[in-house]
Structures are given as C-alpha cells and as structure tokens.
Structure 1
Amino acid sequence: MRLLVGLGNPGVEYELTRHNIGFIFVDYLADRHGIALKKETKWDAEVGRGLLWGQPVTLVKPLTFMNRSGLAVGKIARFFQIATPDVVVFHDELDLPFGACRLAQNRGAGGHNGVRSLMDHLGGRDFIRFRIGVGRPPGAKAAAGFVLSRFSTAEFPELEKILAFLEEGLELLFRRDLKIAMNLVNASVGIAGQE
C-alpha cells in the first residue's frame, strides 16, 4: 500500500491558498476515484482508503498544520507499516513557477517546514515528492504571506489543468516506475510557458 499525503493547513481561512495545493490535489484524487475522506481524530488527519489504478492507497490530509505535518503522517505510516519510499507527498514549491512540477526522491527540505517535519517523523527523506510550483511573490511581498494567499482569478482556471497533470504523473508512477514518471513531470515548465 502507498500513503498519498497532501500538505496544507486545516480551516476555511486556508482553503484554496497556495500553501494548500497538496490538500487540493488529495481532494481532487478522492473525488475522481470515489474515495471518501473522513476526519480521524486518532490520526489528527483526514484519511481515506481505496484503490488507484488497481493498487491500494491511503489518502491523507494532516490536520496538525503544515509545520507539524509529520506528526500525523508518522503515526499513520507506523500503524499501517508503510515504508518511507512508499509515501508520496504533494506540496507547494515557491522556487518553481506557477504550474511547473518536479518529482523527486531523497532530497532535502529546501526550506519547506512541512517537508522537514515529515523527515523528522518518518525517520528519513526517501519518500517521493511532487513539488508543485506556486511561483514567487511579486515585488517585495513576503513569501510567508504570499503562500497563504488565495490563487488569483487568472490562476483559478489553470488549477484544473495542473491537477490533471499531477494525476497523469502519479498514474505513471503507479503503472510504470519513478524514472518514467519523472521524465514526464520534470519536463513541465509552468502554465506561463505553455501554449
């Protein structure tokens, strides 16, 4: 079984913000594949179990807030005895333009506190990560405020394309392997560079 984890912050004030792109994608997967997400207080997470492309998965949205995401994920991984390489994480990435994505394994946190928390609580960094570009703030705007802002009116219509692209990359990971999925995902340049 694979653990598919979307990072974000709980609460209506954080819905549809850049920092919550991981939550948004897990909700998208749950809806597309008929997996019900249910709040599980023992895990401090919303959790749903089902099948993706014939393979068993557990979808997870930690409710411990971004910087403590590893608390929930670590508990779930230990309970279900899921090895760290079978954990797949989806999170926002400031260092990529909006819509660009990168697929990686066994790399550092790169300043992302949610990813750092996962490393601490999973006991390593060899989980798979979909880094989803949200772009840098314009001008001198602070990064912290930018990631907690909602997507712009111009960006909203593009979200569906990004989510579909992520699903395509995830399907390749499941049906083929990491290298083939990386070849697709890591070639993405972002919405601004696509026609």
Structure 2
Amino acid sequence: MKYLIAGLGNIGPEYADTRHNIGFMILDELARQQECQFFNMRLAYYTDFKLKGKTVHLIKPTTYMNLSGNALRYWMQELKVPVENVLVVVDELALPFGTLRLKPKGSAAGHNGLKHIEATLGHSNYARLRFGIGSNFPKGKQVNYVLNAFDKDELPELPALIDRSIEMIKSFVTIGAELTMTRYNK
C-alpha cells in the first residue's frame, strides 16, 4: 500500500517558517524523525519511508502554493497512489491557532493551494489535515498575515503541535481517515 502526503508551502528562504509554510514544516520534521532526506525532483521535494509495511511518500511542491495541484497530480500518477490514500497538509485561517482537523474531503475554503488542487483533480474528494493558524489580522491584511512568521507567543507551542500533526499523519496511514478523525478531531 502506498500513501502520498503533500505538505503545502512556498519555496525560498523568504517563506521559511511562515504560517503559510506549516505544511513544509510538518513534513520536514516528519522526514527528520524518520531519518530520510528530501531530494529536489520533478515539481516537488520528495522522500519516502516505510511505516508498518506501507510506503509513505512525502512531497513538498516546488510550484509555489497557487499551483500545488500540478505537483500533487504528477506524483499521484507517477506513484500510482489512489486519491483515498492522499493527504494534504495545509494552513487554515478559519481555525484558531493550534487547532488540528483532519477531514476526508471538503471545500477549499478560500485557500489558493486547495483551490488549485481541486481545479486540477476536478474534485475535492481528498483528505486534508488543516493546521489552524488563526485570523488575527486587520481587514485586507490576510496575505501579510499568512506570509509572516508565527508570533512569539505561538512559537513555544509549535513543536508539540507539529508532533501531534505527525501523529495524525501516521494514524491516517495506519488506520484511515475516519478513525483518525474520531481519535484526534476535538
């Protein structure tokens, strides 16, 4: 069994450690824990590892957020991973900081990365792990907010939240979306 986990973000040092790059940050830590290294390949940084007899493929699209669907579609086809074994890890403005939600499908909710994935795949029937980044910004300043680093009071909580996100990814791979939702979504 193969699984494809896509952590969304933007490439380049100016985007590192920003709210919009939490998908990259989570996959970087997962790869570190699994002692595997990302390689720059077609449309994405790529690595894989084994988990309880299953192959887990990780991608961090190099297409920039707004074209994430291109990388996801390519790697799904290249690896022959069915959509039910795909999980997209993404930042979410509509959830308070630190809230984690796994959903088996859903709307793009205004997220440009998810909008492009939906347009590219032609549907929204793929699982996503939404990492709440909150919406503590003045009207019209959403772009500045998501492209900025986490606040000083949020930083101490990040490692534990990233670890919990990794637990949820592993749970998705081993027991599926429904049981993972029951166990982790609160």
User: Could you say which TM-score interval applies, normalised by the shorter chain?
Assistant: over 0.9
Aligned to 1:126: 125
User: Is the Cα–Cα contact under 8 Å of residues 84 and 122 in structure 1 kept in the other structure?
Assistant: no
CA gap of 1:176–1:155, structure 2 versus 1, over 3 A, is: same
Q: Do residues 100 (structure 1) and 83 (structure 2) align?
A: no
Aligned to 1:157: 156
1:140 to partner: Cα distance:
3.7
User: Is the Cα–Cα contact under 8 Å of residues 33 and 52 in structure 1 kept in the other structure?
Assistant: no
Instruction: Report the Cα distance in structure 1 between the residues aligned to 2:125 and 2:116, rounded to whole angstroms.
Output: 14
Give a deviation string over 1:147-172, Cα, whole Å, max 9, x none.
00001122111110101111222222
Aligned to 1:34: 35
Q: Do residues 44 (structure 1) and 52 (structure 2) align?
A: no
1:141 to partner: Cα distance:
5.9
Aligned to 2:11: 10
User: Is the Cα–Cα contact under 8 Å of residues 70 and 119 in structure 1 kept in the other structure?
Assistant: yes
User: Is the Cα–Cα contact under 8 Å of residues 7 and 69 in structure 1 kept in the other structure?
Assistant: yes
User: Is the Cα–Cα contact under 8 Å of residues 53 and 171 in structure 1 kept in the other structure?
Assistant: no
User: Is the Cα–Cα contact under 8 Å of residues 50 and 56 in structure 2 kept in the other structure?
Assistant: yes
Tell me which stretches of 4 or more aligned residues in structure 1 moved more than 3 Å.
Answer: 138-141
Instruction: Report the Cα distance in structure 1 between the residues aligned to 2:61 and 2:181, rounded to whole angstroms.
Output: 25
User: Is the Cα–Cα contact under 8 Å of residues 73 and 120 in structure 2 kept in the other structure?
Assistant: yes
User: Is the Cα–Cα contact under 8 Å of residues 38 and 48 in structure 1 kept in the other structure?
Assistant: yes
Instruction: Report the Cα distance in structure 1 between the residues aligned to 2:180 and 2:130, rounded to whole angstroms.
Output: 13
Q: Note the residue ranges of structure 2 that are not aligned, 5 or more in a row.
A: none
User: Is the Cα–Cα contact under 8 Å of residues 8 and 61 in structure 2 kept in the other structure?
Assistant: yes
Determine what percentage of the aligned residue pairs are the same residue. Answer: 34
User: Is the Cα–Cα contact under 8 Å of residues 37 and 46 in structure 1 kept in the other structure?
Assistant: yes
1:122 to partner: Cα distance:
2.5
Instruction: Report the Cα distance in structure 2 between the residues aligned to 1:177 and 1:57, rounded to whole angstroms.
Output: 13
Count of aligned positions: 185
Q: What's the TM-score, normalizing by structure 2?
A: 0.94
User: Is the Cα–Cα contact under 8 Å of residues 105 and 125 in structure 1 kept in the other structure?
Assistant: no
Which aligned pairs between 1:1-195 and structure 2 lie closer than 5 A?
A: 1-40=2-41, 43-140=42-139, 142-187=141-186
Q: What's the TM-score, normalizing by structure 1?
A: 0.90
Give a deviation string over 1:114-143, Cα, whole Å, max 9, x none.
011112223322111001000002344611
Q: Aligned partner of 1:14: which letter?
A: Y
Instruction: Report the Cα distance in structure 1 between the residues aligned to 2:176 and 2:105, rounded to whole angstroms.
Output: 16
Q: State the superposition RMSD in angstroms.
A: 1.4
